[in-house]
Structure 1
Amino acid sequence: MSGRAPISGVVTTFNNAATLDACLDSLAFCDERIVLDSGSTDATRQIAERHGARIAEHPFEGYGPQKQRAIDMARHDWILLLDADEHLTEAAREIIERELRDPRADGYRLPRQEWLFWKWAHLGTRANWQLRLFRKSRGRMNEVPVHAAPVVDGVRRDLRAPFRHYGEPRLADRVDKVNRYSSGLVVHKHRRGVRGLGARILFQPTLAFLKLYIGKRYFLDGWAGYLAARTQAFYTFLKYAKVLETQRSKDQA
């Protein structure tokens, strides 16, 4: 779109052939598309090549460092950061282009709509807002080991430019991810210390369930919403229970 700031669409990948096509297609309006791969063995690289993306490969060194490396490759200041299992809606592309004609902020949170096992979330379900559009000169990835996210030194705004996240299609995949992610957070949380660990183990899982099922209206999504809220509660339980396990194991050593 004439008159708007140039945009670099940035994606990190590893064996994402099932979803990458939709992701890169939704970024076709960007002035460049960057794909940083960490050794895919499926058709990921071929899909990226077909879309004309600028491709590089680097061994995976963590979510934050990998995304930061991809961001550093960008030629333009404005970064649109997506995961390979996410894609922008048509409405989002139009809103982003309009906003970047005269940007009012240094970073923007966008609403993410979730795939819940076998269906897209109900329109009445509250979206998860994520900071995904930002100035490279004012933003960097944080150092959280699993849920790494951009942080911006400057003005931040919410922009109603929705994007979609194609999450785990099977409950088994979701449970596997919950187990891996909770393990990935143990060292980080143990180093920082967790106050009231026992209370968190007892009560935080229930609060996490209620936050999604009632607060974000996952009850509108039937059994898919219930399962999503329950697995989130299980994740909350595991990440604190594993910290306790680590502490007790070190005490016995």
Structure 2
Amino acid sequence: MFAAIFERHFFMDKLPISCFIIAKNEADRIARTIRSVRPWVDEVVVVDSESTDDTARVAAAEGCRVITQKWLGFGGQKRFAEEQCRNDWLLNLDADEVITPRLRREIMALFAHAPPSRVAYGMPLELVYPNTKRPRLWARDHWYVRLYDRRFVRFRNSKVHDTVVTDGHAVGILRAPAYHYSFRSFEDLKRKMGERMLLSARHANSSTAALAARIVLEFPVNFFKYYINRRHFMGGLNGLRYSWIQADYRLLKIFHMWRERTSRSSRSPEASDDMAVHEI
């Protein structure tokens, strides 16, 4: 009770930021994401992609503005969400991400006395394994631009990727992390990887020779990338399993790209020339 009263008083002057979240079937975890930002940002906008669970109801109960929008692709959905916000400064979160108290304080400090000195800021996202509360020691996962002024930079309109295009603008660095509860279980991770792998393969264009080389190197290179370079060796058995799945599905993606390439070539030799190269 006391904590709730203190929080309402402490965050009385909210930051001129709109936080937007795109979501589908995230009723079991979106409230945690919303609660990490709702007390101190001006608004939270949830763009729901026709969920079949209670995502929209949960978000509305948490005080969000909820808009239903048929899926436009990763970049397209986020660009649509950008346009629904009433502030120019935007904070983007996925429904499985949480702003930590340290990151909240760092963002609040940016707006304490004047507008931020940069038009975009990147932040580290640290993965949290299923059934654990915190990232592994020395976590080094991803770094994304998620806080930005939409008058200068926007998300790329891509079906596969959701990346903020900074167009040469200097990007500020936020040191504190957001936590990424990316998958509910390792079976859920395999499902998500499978979906993204198929989508990426359909939108890819690589030469047969390049794919042949990648078939040989894809698994060992990616296992090293995740287990050693991103320090999942600090995650014990969870880290080993995670690294193996990441490498395994990236190898599987190459096989699907090969199949797509062969199928495309048999249909029309010119058809693949118009496709863009994408990777998950």
Work out whether 1:72 is the aligned partner of 2:86. no
Structure 1 Cα separation of the partners of residues 171 and 216 of structure 2: 35
Unaligned runs of 5+ in 2: 1-10, 268-280
The 1:225–1:238 alpha-carbon spacing in structure 2 relative to 1, beyond 3 Å, is same
Of the three residues 9, 18, 34, the one matched with 1:24 is: 34
Of the three residues 19, 41, 48, the one matched with 1:37 is: 48
Letter in 2 for 1:137: R
Of the three residues 223, 228, 239, the one matched with 1:225 is: 239
CA contact (8 A) 2:127 2:139 kept: no
**Helix, strand or coil at the partner of 2:239:** helix
Structure 1 Cα separation of the partners of residues 194 and 207 of structure 2: 21
Of the three residues 132, 137, 145, the one matched with 1:123 is: 137
Deviation string 1:152-197 (CA, Å, 9 cap, x unpaired) is: 231112211311111212222111111110110123212x768722
Runs (4+) off by over 3 Å = 1-5, 192-195, 250-253
TM-score, L = length of structure 2? 0.83
Of the three residues 223, 237, 242, the one matched with 2:256 is: 242
**Helix, strand or coil at the partner of 1:124:** coil
Of the three residues 42, 64, 67, the one matched with 1:56 is: 67
Of the three residues 71, 82, 94, the one matched with 2:105 is: 94
CA contact (8 A) 1:118 1:224 kept: no
> What value does the CA root-mean-square deviation take over the aligned residues?
2.0
Unaligned runs of 5+ in 1: none
Work out whether 1:14 is the aligned partner of 2:24. yes
Structure 2 Cα separation of the partners of residues 88 and 200 of structure 1: 37
TM-score, L = length of structure 1? 0.92
The 1:178–1:31 alpha-carbon spacing in structure 2 relative to 1, beyond 3 Å, is same
Structure 2 Cα separation of the partners of residues 35 and 168 of structure 1: 20
Structure 2 Cα separation of the partners of residues 100 and 2 of structure 1: 14
Work out whether 1:210 is the aligned partner of 2:224. yes
The 1:194–1:118 alpha-carbon spacing in structure 2 relative to 1, beyond 3 Å, is farther
Structure 1 Cα separation of the partners of residues 207 and 117 of structure 2: 38
- The sequence identity of aligned pairs, in percent, is 30
User: Is the deviation greater in 194-203 or in 206-215?
Assistant: 194-203
Matching residue of 1:114: 127
Of the three residues 173, 179, 183, the one matched with 2:188 is: 173
Deviation string 1:19-55 (CA, Å, 9 cap, x unpaired) is: 1111111111111111111112222112211222111
CA contact (8 A) 1:4 1:100 kept: no
Using the TM superposition, give the Cα deviation of residue 78 of structure 1 relative to its aligned residue in structure 2, in angstroms.
0.8
**Helix, strand or coil at the partner of 2:252:** helix
Using the TM superposition, give the Cα deviation of residue 112 of structure 1 relative to its aligned residue in structure 2, in angstroms.
0.7
Letter in 2 for 1:25: R
Give aligned pairs, total: 252
**Helix, strand or coil at the partner of 1:18:** coil
The 1:109–1:237 alpha-carbon spacing in structure 2 relative to 1, beyond 3 Å, is same
Structure 1 Cα separation of the partners of residues 72 and 139 of structure 2: 34
CA contact (8 A) 1:96 1:161 kept: no
